[in-house]
Structure 1
């Protein structure tokens, strides 16, 4: 290896000593180093010469653009090209050699490396850069690396590198990690707040602020925007009247490497540039010459709807941590200036850090990786944040539907093949099943067509921004760049010919990947019902509007505030062709319902495609079971309000809910509204014998039915821990009133004499909220702290009550006075 070209002194060098000491004694390290400290550049180069590291180093970068830029930069510092000492592995590009000692990899690539070689042979150190961004793939690769370290390679060192530790919980997984901090070095960045004026579109305000900075300051400008659409709009507005020798450079993930490099590189001599970027530019990248940052304060955040599996891209406010990262870009190489397009008051209200992606993402790919690793459940690994149970359940269910895992979450032979392909699980299922279709239908080139479809869906839309409509057939044959390379890669892996079948089969193939997104028109207004149960709609100006054809929606997204998802890419499919080629998608189902007007039972056989009803045939052999199912369906549709609820039933359920919350070890059943609706068949169905109309439901003994869900022992525990009444010191049996937040007791204050503290239920965990009453049962005080009341407010209450109710006892020390229900005279008589 050539000697490295000396870097100018960077702050990270101050912690080289402590880092080397930590490497000698720890296999887990957490390094906090601000933006610009040199943790992604100077540190990896220095580590190549440290004797404490006796093997290869893997440097994980969350984004491909940063990985490429860092690899080129580090190789140049050594006077080499990428692929020699410094290597690169990103999706679609691998440049390594036997002499490579430092590999820059992206998240998904690291996961594949661990899956392919669980011992990570020859690797001494894995550096997780920018881990505070908390990408899903980073969390997964870290969980796998910790498993490798704990079970196979104690000598493997893992180092988490983050610009900030605020709001993070790295110690949850790295309990014995050495912590080292670098002060960092950044030039001063002045800040100004320019909130969007009321009524002005924020995009227009962003353009105005960029123009203002171009006129007022020298240097290059970096503007942060949430997505490609906003970048295009800002770019179009800035083009009008753009000053001479100013270049506009968009920067986002879907651009070609050449376009991304142009945004990062310094502009030609005598020129300035304005970089319009998504949050891809928040960290890792150093964009030459940036001295001003204009931050719109928004970002795109993906949220998976667990009901239908669709992902909604929400435009949300950034966090305080992200805002600091963004403004810091202006101070990487020189003194700079930051413009925030929100108020200082709003700044204080921003979340401290961004929500980890694992808490809101679709976890299907993660579940497939877990199955490939041999995990049956996510909790077998250590996570920075546990994957949500509901999202994991949906992911496992989809993998089973695609035949990629079995009922115990074990990878099937088909699942193993899909995992080896490295594709999205849905698209992998399509790629492999297409070969069966090709043989069964006798249509050459179907699998090759599937390769084009999968590449098109995983890479950028070749017609993006040209408004051609959602028809995916228009894109076939137009693949270029990474998409064309990916399609060819899959053809090579699958061993299929280059000849491609007609695009008319696209819908049939897509049904293999998206059996839950087959769309049936709900009229002529472009609205559709999906086989998975949710709704979707075509864009208002789409050429397919009003045609009512059966579609398969390959790409769609939920929209905030609207019920139907918006279809982005789809293909037509003929029902007869679908039924002939994929008959397993169809079933005949017996269905019943009660007519809303007549109340009469309607029973029929329905030909179903998922949740879509394709045909109905009336039935005449109506049975008691048909009536039972129709009544259960009525409750599902119209709600539990059809049942005879009463205050007694409500109070019993509230007591049970408090029992589940406060004493979960006793194993109480869940009788909340969602649980009751989900389990109608088991708890309500047996009591509907002979019932034929909805009105008859009002005659049910609902309390008895619900109490039957508890065995005798649990019923006794409920009465003991959370009783219906409380016995006062006077012997009065007073009713307790439960509510979602606790329990209230209305009691005359004289009957609480002698009680030094607030009575408590449920093993002392639930204090009574005491509504203390006058002798005339009028409220005097509400308290959960009786002791504090006796010592404080009681003196004022006592003075007032003595004048109003002189015949009653108002002692100075009520906590040590005998309780009473009567006047002083009656007390003396007794």
Structure 2
């Protein structure tokens, strides 16, 4: 500890905080920023209040707290403690508290002045978790209003691509050297991986590499005293690799230790601790071991090069898990694990050439994650948009909009995006807003009806859905109820009951639970996931998404479901259902009647080629019943026509060549004639403004033939005033007068070219190509044969006459001997006729 590089910055850091309350510290892997720095701060006399240090992951928070407490010679929970979700080891007198990031936002919401806290340390801020960005934003809000004396220390392994100085322009920046030993790097991509680009095909390759490395006493002997750390995308790959290695390694020599977030704390501790019984450890980890966490004795690393990334789909309201390549920054962090305590060795299971193509750094979660919890925090804080907070990166607009819409649907915020009383109660429960809404509604119903078991069942269902580890009992959520009241999820169930001030008999709740009650409660939380069976293609959710169930599952053939847990996976067209409950259709007329809406609908009948109107009973995108309307409202028909055009495109209209030419001419005019304001009539703009330019002419349209008969060219042309039409015709004419009397057509393409097609004999005597738009656009000449076939294409007629024309003349003179092919075309009179007729006319 005395040799860690960050210790050299203790004096500058103390000096910095004496001058300013914001400091940015860049300290690479091995510098000691997560351990030695907070440990030393406990001896600073000027820090009278509590130090709060944020860690991105629970396993790191617990590990760091235990380590610092051991260095201070105290028990965890006394001078040094930690707080993570579901577990707290701290007290009022605790001076250094390690917390996960989500805990900080709760603390700020409950006490905006953060009474008693003097400093907040954001560790590993470069990882850019949602809770990191939000926690920093709220801390800066507090510092700028309630607590000017609050000290903020933002620590990062790298500042590359991290806009911290933009967010904190007055902060003092310090930089520490890293302390890592040299790491030898090798690249070994499997042939199957290069073809398939998926880690599913390289588990065996990875396993063989590990076995070979551990058996290599010659080339890798200098690293053989330590343990090995393997990075994989997720729990599934870890279990497969553990099975592979267990049958090939001597378990008397090696301990295979999995490490991922949902493991019990004792199992995680075993993976982190030093190897025992003279064995070497083989730790199989997700990216929880990438930073902050030091695993004792690691000298060798094997990196799959993949991570599992969650991306929120704003349209379906569900998170999709996909396998992604890690970034170069992440690869460096993983590699550095081998050189924390001694020289190490890292094998990367991809090519060196591919290494150069990896992203420089990981994208922040705020760009692709589910923003519902963050938006709820923002609403509780009193803002109506995440843009009102000092965020490191602007949030994804579609994902944020989807989050606000869901909170409105769940009555958590009102139409003005202000938190409701119901919303504040939901926030206090500390679970996902969907589940909080279900719990509160269940309590209200239980109080009104006397069904006290209903709120207990709601708590059990919420515990099932929030459980980090579930058995496999099929899709029916009813098969998981007993499991949910055990262990960590059982503790959570009882905490919710305590907050709701209810105390039902959980055993009785489970014994008396009916499918009807379960489906009703889940529909409160997931009204957009009521699903109707659509036959061989699975189910249609109320939000319009398709999902499927395993064919052998008992629920796969029922008519109606409410889906509580499903997931979209890359490469699949439909989501996969994991938990659901059957709905009795009779419930839509009783307890679930709140889901059914009545609305007038107009649409297009492809068979009859007409628009129609009907009254529909719907659950979201699912139609329960419909009744034809004999006299539809003309406004509804007009809206249906416009919607149909938006769906199927402008091809439903008479968008002939004249319209296309008008579009291209106006696009050129907007570019080359800045003295006039020209309208945008591009396809995208026309689709966006259908109501304005087409709407007034749809009052009597009822069929496709009537729609096609509309003169779109004149509708669009008439958007121009008369003077503008005249100016357009002057600058970008549709015809060019030839000396022969022919009005040659000019065609404008979408590349900005004006093309004049005319027989070569009629262009004789023209020294230069015509120019348009006051000399800004040279016309491209398409010179044709007497049979109107293309001979040449040129925008420089003078050069054509002097050069390429000679070859054209040689070839064409024999083919068309009756026509004129002069030796001096630039000085020959043009003609529309043969040589003989031309000669007679001239006489």
Alpha-carbon distance in 1 for matches of 2:264, 2:413: 36
Q: TM-score, normalised by structure 1?
A: 0.84
Contact 1:59–1:127 under 8 Å retained in 2: yes
Larger Rg: 2
CA deviation after TM superposition for structure 1 residue 172, in Å: 2.2
Of residues 157-166 and 290-299 in structure 1, the stretch that sits farther from structure 2 once superposed is: 157-166
Of residues 652-661 and 637-646 in structure 1, the stretch that sits farther from structure 2 once superposed is: 652-661
Change (3 A) 1:624 1:282: same
Change (3 A) 1:650 1:534: farther
Tell me the alpha carbon deviations over residues 730-771 of structure 1, each in whole angstroms, 9 at most, x when there is no partner: xx99979574xx74466999869999xx999xxxxxxx8978
Match of 1:330 in 2: 338
Where in structure 2 are the equivalents of 1:499-510 lying within 5 Å? 499=505, 500=509, 502-504=513-515, 505-510=517-522
- Which of 489, 495, 505 is the matching residue for 2:495? 489
Contact 2:768–2:798 under 8 Å retained in 1: no
Match of 1:643 in 2: 653
Alpha-carbon distance in 2 for matches of 1:360, 1:614: 34
* 1:151 and 2:145 correspond: yes
Where in structure 2 are the equivalents of 1:558-707 lying within 5 Å? 558-622=568-632, 624-625=634-635, 627-647=637-657, 649-650=659-660, 684-703=694-713
CA deviation after TM superposition for structure 1 residue 533, in Å: 1.0
Contact 1:771–1:779 under 8 Å retained in 2: no
Provide the secondary structure at the position in 2 that maps to 1:285: coil
Contact 1:449–1:503 under 8 Å retained in 2: no
Alpha-carbon distance in 2 for matches of 1:320, 1:163: 13
Alpha-carbon distance in 2 for matches of 1:355, 1:263: 29
Match of 2:211 in 1: 211
* 1:48 and 2:42 correspond: yes
- Which of 88, 95, 100 is the matching residue for 1:101? 95
Alpha-carbon distance in 2 for matches of 1:382, 1:344: 39
CA deviation after TM superposition for structure 1 residue 224, in Å: 0.7
Change (3 A) 1:47 1:754: farther
Contact 1:12–1:38 under 8 Å retained in 2: yes
Provide the secondary structure at the position in 2 that maps to 1:475: helix
Gaps of 5+ in 2: 737-742, 757-762, 785-790, 807-824, 830-843
Alpha-carbon distance in 1 for matches of 2:94, 2:717: 69
Provide the secondary structure at the position in 2 that maps to 1:478: helix
Contact 2:668–2:752 under 8 Å retained in 1: no
Contact 1:431–1:450 under 8 Å retained in 2: yes
Change (3 A) 1:668 1:112: farther
Contact 2:211–2:248 under 8 Å retained in 1: no
Of residues 361-370 and 743-752 in structure 1, the stretch that sits farther from structure 2 once superposed is: 743-752
Of residues 108-117 and 627-636 in structure 1, the stretch that sits farther from structure 2 once superposed is: 627-636
Match of 1:110 in 2: 104
Provide the secondary structure at the position in 2 that maps to 1:37: coil
Provide the secondary structure at the position in 2 that maps to 1:408: coil
CA deviation after TM superposition for structure 1 residue 417, in Å: 1.0
Kindly tell me the number of residue pairs found equivalent between the two proteins.
Answer: 769
Contact 1:266–1:288 under 8 Å retained in 2: yes
Of residues 454-463 and 599-608 in structure 1, the stretch that sits farther from structure 2 once superposed is: 599-608
Tell me the alpha carbon deviations over residues 782-810 of structure 1, each in whole angstroms, 9 at most, x when there is no partner: 9xxxxxxxxxxxxxx9999755679xxxx
* 1:514 and 2:526 correspond: yes
Change (3 A) 1:408 1:627: closer
CA deviation after TM superposition for structure 1 residue 512, in Å: 0.9
Tell me the alpha carbon deviations over residues 117-157 of structure 1, each in whole angstroms, 9 at most, x when there is no partner: 22222222211111111111111111111111222222222
Provide the secondary structure at the position in 1 that maps to 2:395: coil
Of residues 670-679 and 632-641 in structure 1, the stretch that sits farther from structure 2 once superposed is: 670-679
Change (3 A) 1:651 1:295: farther
Alpha-carbon distance in 1 for matches of 2:645, 2:770: 49
Q: What RMSD, in angstroms, separates the aligned Cα atoms of the two structures?
A: 3.8
Of residues 280-289 and 444-453 in structure 1, the stretch that sits farther from structure 2 once superposed is: 444-453
Tell me the alpha carbon deviations over residues 520-558 of structure 1, each in whole angstroms, 9 at most, x when there is no partner: 1001x360000011111113443323x223111111111
* 1:175 and 2:185 correspond: no
Of residues 621-630 and 176-185 in structure 1, the stretch that sits farther from structure 2 once superposed is: 621-630
Provide the secondary structure at the position in 1 that maps to 2:186: strand
Alpha-carbon distance in 2 for matches of 1:126, 1:508: 44
CA deviation after TM superposition for structure 1 residue 242, in Å: 2.4
- Which of 316, 322, 325 is the matching residue for 2:324? 316
CA deviation after TM superposition for structure 1 residue 635, in Å: 2.8
Alpha-carbon distance in 2 for matches of 1:613, 1:746: 53
CA deviation after TM superposition for structure 1 residue 444, in Å: 2.7
- Which of 272, 275, 289 is the matching residue for 2:283? 275
Alpha-carbon distance in 2 for matches of 1:411, 1:433: 17
Gaps of 5+ in 1: 1-6, 761-767, 783-796, 807-821
Change (3 A) 1:515 1:93: same
Of residues 100-109 and 625-634 in structure 1, the stretch that sits farther from structure 2 once superposed is: 625-634
* 1:342 and 2:350 correspond: yes
CA deviation after TM superposition for structure 1 residue 329, in Å: 0.5
CA deviation after TM superposition for structure 1 residue 598, in Å: 2.7
Tell me the alpha carbon deviations over residues 402-448 of structure 1, each in whole angstroms, 9 at most, x when there is no partner: 11111111111111111122211111111111123334555331111
Alpha-carbon distance in 2 for matches of 1:231, 1:659: 62
Contact 1:441–1:581 under 8 Å retained in 2: no
Match of 1:357 in 2: 365
Tell me the alpha carbon deviations over residues 308-358 of structure 1, each in whole angstroms, 9 at most, x when there is no partner: 212110101111111111111111111111010000000000010111110
CA deviation after TM superposition for structure 1 residue 780, in Å: 6.1
Provide the secondary structure at the position in 1 that maps to 2:527: coil
* 1:533 and 2:544 correspond: yes
CA deviation after TM superposition for structure 1 residue 285, in Å: 0.5
Provide the secondary structure at the position in 2 that maps to 1:109: helix
Change (3 A) 1:558 1:43: same
CA deviation after TM superposition for structure 1 residue 455, in Å: 2.0
Of residues 343-352 and 607-616 in structure 1, the stretch that sits farther from structure 2 once superposed is: 607-616
